[in-house]
Amino acid sequence: MNIETLRIYCDVVQHQSFSRGAAMNNISQSAATQSIHRVEKHFGVQLIDRSKRPFVTTPEGDACYQGFREVLEM
């Protein structure tokens, strides 16, 4: 996992939109979705509950968001 992946995750969560998060990082919506899937696979948990509109982060997703924000701010 690299710093760009953390940034993509945070932008998607902050904007509550895969397409807006992708646009913030100059990538396609599909690439942002794949990036989030890789993070979820890495940690072995679902970070975003896509069954709701707009999507919501899971408790694990919230913890990752806070931790990733701290990393990005350093």
Complete domains list, the chain, with CATH: 3-73 (1.10.10.10)
Q: Do 42 and 9 contact (CB within 8 A), yes or no?
A: no
Mean local confidence (pLDDT), 50-55: 88
Looking at residue 53, its pLDDT comes to 85
Looking at residue 67, its pLDDT comes to 96
**Bridge partners, 48 (sequence order):** 57
- pLDDT band at residue 32 using 50, 70 and 90 as cut-offs: very high
Q: Which residues contact 65 (CB under 8 A, 6 or more apart)?
A: 9, 10, 13, 57
pTM: 0.91
